[in-house]
Each structure stands twice: as C-alpha cells, then as structure tokens.
C-alpha cells in the first residue's frame, strides 16, 4: 500500500470516529434535556431556559419553572441563558426583555390530557409551576409588539433575581 493510500485511510477512519462521537453526543445531550428537570414537561425550544439554582446548572422548560423551583428550594437563582421566543436564538439574561402574564403559555399548550377529580369531572387548577408564563425576547420592540397582541407585562431579568 502506498503512503498516500495509508494517509487517506487514516483520515477516513478519523472522520468516521469523529462522526460517531458527534452522533453519540447529540443523542445523549438532546435526550437528557428533552424534559424539564423540575416539572417533567417538554423543554420547548422557544422557551428553553438555563439557570443556576443553588449553584447547580439546570435546564427548564420556561423561566417561570426556574423561578418556582428556586423559590421552592429556598435557593438563589441565577439565569444563565434564555431563548428568544420570537426567533429561537439564545439570549443573554442581561440583554433580555421579558413578558409575564400574556395569553401565551407553551407549557400549558402541550398538556396531553385534562386533569380530572375523583368523579371524573374536570378539576380546577389552582397552581401550575409554569404559570404565569414568562417569555424572553432579544429586543424591546419584539417584546412590545408581542404585548400589543397577547397582553402581559414588560420587565427585565434583574426584576426576577434582584441582580
């Protein structure tokens, strides 16, 4: 076998190995984060939130879930990354414009079945970890446009965390 053939074969093997490692990484990383670590709802790509609660990094379906998880645990909350609801792109918490209490809540829109009481009648929900919804936007203009159509209140990350 020529030296060129051996080098080509080695490059192909390395490429296949890297490809297999990438596929394995994607399968494990998306599976691990496909469900909110707190409420077990799907992590919606338009509201995916990463936060530190008591210093532990967690992935949440929405910012509201992260706030309630920190309150319930009595731990400090630090947002690491939001997702822009309008584009699906990551947004730094210091740059985000948040809308709370609109008529849009992706977490509740994906509930597969109605909660019923012992007589099989629809049960009134008095608390939901993901309500009221908090949606993040990269620009003030996008947030204000959203509020005009869906209602809600505009605020910033430091209003949630005190920082």
Residues 27 and 92 in one domain: no
Residues 48 and 4 in one domain: no
What is the residue range of 12's domain?
1-32
Mean pLDDT, consecutive 10-residue stretches, the chain (163 aa), reads 76 79 59 72 89 92 90 90 94 95 76 62 62 91 96 91 65
Dist CA 160 CA 155 (whole Å): 9
Dist CA 81 CA 14 (whole Å): 34
- pTM comes to 0.69
Residues 85 and 16 in one domain: no
What is the number of domains present in the chain? 2
Bridge partners of 53, per DSSP, are 56, 77
Residues 45 and 7 in one domain: no
């Amino acid at each position: 076998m020529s030296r060129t053939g051996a080098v080509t074969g080695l490059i192909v093997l390395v490429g296949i190995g890297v490809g297999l490692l990438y596929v394995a990484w994607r399968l494990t990383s998306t599976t691990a984060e496909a469900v909110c670590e707190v409420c077990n709802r799907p992590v919606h790509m338009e509201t995916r939130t990463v936060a530190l609660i008591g210093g532990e990094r967690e992935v949440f379906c929405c910012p509201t879930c992260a706030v309630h998880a920190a309150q319930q645990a009595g731990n400090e909350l630090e947002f690491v990354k939001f997702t822009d609801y309008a584009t699906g792109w990551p947004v730094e918490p210091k740059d985000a414009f948040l809308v709370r209490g609109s008529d849009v809540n992706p977490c509740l829109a994906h509930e597969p079945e109605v909660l019923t009481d012992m007589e099989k009648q629809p049960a009134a929900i008095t608390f939901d970890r993901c309500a009221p919804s908090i949606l993040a936007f990269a620009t003030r203009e996008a947030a204000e446009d959203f509020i005009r159509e869906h209602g809600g209140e505009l605020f910033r990350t430091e209003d949630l965390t005190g920082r």
